[in-house]
Structure 1
């Protein structure tokens, strides 16, 4: 192991990130950081947990890289905000790409991307920064997944799709070719999206998927 890693977060996803980075990457986790108001423990897995506000005094950005391991809370806004904080402190943001995933050589990835096992990422796909792809998804050729999206397991995204920033896609959801959804959309479990929904903040459910009357902003109490 030649590279040191700081994990930003201390919840369940941070625990998972610690396991995956430790077992299946060339990073060695050096510690954890959380915002001071959520600092409830001094150690995790025998490693220090420190306040994010002053983390650079313990883990200088010149010595460690960082990964923000936070789930889709507030339609991915918490993860997005913490990524910007890490960048402002000068950290290089590491990706985790499972060696048990198939990411084609022409795929383009941003930073702070986490791709679990059994994902298939095909030719020409663009996955922007801050995205999480849980286990077993298929991302079809030339698709673009914009920043800070969260795809749960066994999602099928066909070719030439465009998934809007900060969107959440539930397990077993399916997208037809050339489908576009706007930013901040919430796609429910097993939804079959066979047409585009360009308006931001929609909740999509059903087969075929239709938009709910309530927006994702109202449902998650998010100020636009």
Structure 2
């Protein structure tokens, strides 16, 4: 089994460790973060070491890496650490769930985190450092560029383009042939039927409370 180091000590790093241990060909050996964020010498029962020292302790000739960070600052923190790890010479691995329906003939990029119940149709292209949380539909001939985060139960219809550093909230829906420009933010439940603008923020109408109690409603 190939040996890997996970960058991160948050929820996503903990989840990544679980998936790699239970559903992959990789063995997680240790965790790493920047020295300023270390407050323990271990995480999840494995060594936790400073990223500044990683080449000495776990050289890239023997170990690979996975950057397990969230969508903070439109994925730019994860992107920065992705680039730093590359500069240190590490090969970045991806995780694709065995319960994902990946039927595209095109291989995904590196440092991708693709959860269970995703449907990835023919002719889909997925770039580097892309997270697809559980239960998404990625329609035929669509393209997801680098450094994106797609939450759960998002529908991306056919021939769509997701440019870099976007965030797609839970239950967002893209119509056919839609382009999300760079750094687009879609809130939960957003329905997009026209191309977005760069750094645009799109949210669904807010749910309102009516002036009745639940026991006054006939179901």
What TM-score does the superposition give when structure 1 sets the normalisation length?
0.90
Separation (CA, whole Å) in 2 of partners of 1:9 and 1:168: 20
| Secondary structure of the corresponding residue to residue 92 of structure 2 | coil
**How far apart, CA to CA, are the structure 1 residues paired with 2:154 and 2:187?**
11
What is the CA distance between 1:107 and its match in structure 2?
A: 3.0
Q: Partner of 1:28 in structure 2? A: 27
Per-residue CA distance 1:154-179 (angstroms, 9 max, x = gap): 00000000112010000000000100
Q: Secondary structure at the match of 1:53?
A: helix
- Pairwise CA distance, 1:46: 1.9
Please report how far the alpha carbon of residue 206 of structure 1 lies from its aligned counterpart in structure 2 after TM superposition: 2.5
Q: CA deviation at 1:105?
A: 4.1
Residues 34-56 of structure 1, C-alpha deviations (whole Å, 9 max, x = no match): 01111111101221101111111
Distance 2:27 2:107 in 1: 25
> How far did residue 108 of structure 1 move?
3.0
Contact 2:67 / 2:78 at 8 angstroms: preserved in 1? yes
Q: Greater CA deviation, 80-89 or 38-47?
A: 38-47
- SS of residue matched to 2:73: helix
Instruction: Write the mapping of 1:66-85 to structure 2, written as runs, cut at 5 A.
Output: 66-85=65-84
Partner of 1:8: 7
2:55 corresponds to which residue?
56
Aligned residues: 205
Aligned to 1:132: 131
Q: Report the equivalent of 1:175.
A: 174
**Number of the residue aligned with 2:211:** none
Work out whether residues 108 and 124 of structure 1, in 8 Å CA contact, stay in contact via their aligned partners in 2: no
What is residue 198 of structure 2 aligned with on the other side? Answer: 200
The SS at the match of 1:154 is coil
Using a 3 Å threshold, how does the CA distance of structure 1 residues 180 and 105 change in structure 2: closer, same or farther? closer
Residue of structure 2 equivalent to 1:187: 186
2:157/2:177 contact within 8 Å kept: yes
After superposition, the CA RMSD in angstroms is: 0.9
C-alpha displacement of 1:84: 0.3
Gaps of 5+ in 1: 208-224
Q: Is the 8 A contact 1:127 1:144 kept in 2?
A: yes
SS of the residue 2:6 aligns to: strand
- Match of 2:208? none
Runs of at least 5 residues in structure 2 that lack an aligned partner in the other structure: 206-219
Deviation per CA, 1:101-131: give whole Å up to 9, x if none.
0111413311000000000011111111011
CA contact (8 A) 1:108 1:125 kept: no
> What SS is found at the alignment partner of 2:75?
helix
